[in-house]
Amino acid sequence: MSRRILLINGPNLNLLGKREPHIYGSTTLEDIETQARQQAHELGVEIDTFQSNHEGAIVDRIQETAGWGPNVRETDTPGKRVSAIIINAGALTHTSVAVRDALAAVAIPFVELHVSNVHARETFRAHSYLSDKAVAVICGMGAYGYSAAIEFAAQHLKIEGE
């Protein structure tokens, strides 16, 4: 089974490049995902990307990684199963027990990612429902954080004997 990473971006991250560029930079999500696919290929891992502005859709997508949830087809083969998740949950980071519970349910190692340094912003952004369950937390690196997360996930997968 090939090693597969799922990159999830949450609400408003579809606006990267346009949204508050002084905070989030000018790189678009399309560019980030394109770079992620190129980097994954070079690292010899598979990558799926998903972005939604909707909490339930993100929960459904996380459940799918374990072959569960409303969108899983019986024909899905184990070869498509995910070995690591990278998630920038956006504002859901600070609010969503549902996303936390979905990640705990599938028990797949995950990296929490933020483009901005959430600890240098409004106090509410310093709280995460995900961080204590994450293998690693990356924040403040801008779009490069995605590259760092993919490199780490790929190396972690190797450590796991993937």
Ligand X SMILES: O=C1C[C@@](O)(C(=O)O)C[C@@H](O)[C@@H]1O
Which residues define the annotated binding site for substrate? 88, 94, 101, 115-116, 125
Binding residues: 88, 94, 101, 115-116, 125
Chain positions 90 to 109 lying near ligand X, rule: CB under 6 A, are 90-91, 93
Decide the pairing of beta strands 4-9 and 46-51.
parallel
Closest CA to 99 of 37, 16, 11, 19: 11
CB contact at 8 A, 114 and 139:
yes
Hey, how many other C-beta atoms are within 10 angstroms of the C-beta on 129?
19
CB contact at 8 A, 118 and 126:
yes
Closest CA to 10 of 75, 96, 97: 96
**Is 24 assigned a catalytic role?**
yes
Site string for ligand X, 106-125 (x = CB under 6 A): --------xxx-x------x
**Is 22 assigned a catalytic role?**
no
Q: Residue 41 CB, nearest distance to ligand X (Å)? A: 24
Catalytic residue among 41, 114, 129, 156: 114
Stretch that binds ligand X, among 36-44, 69-77, 87-95, 152-160 (CB under 6 A): 87-95
Residues with a known catalytic role: 24, 114
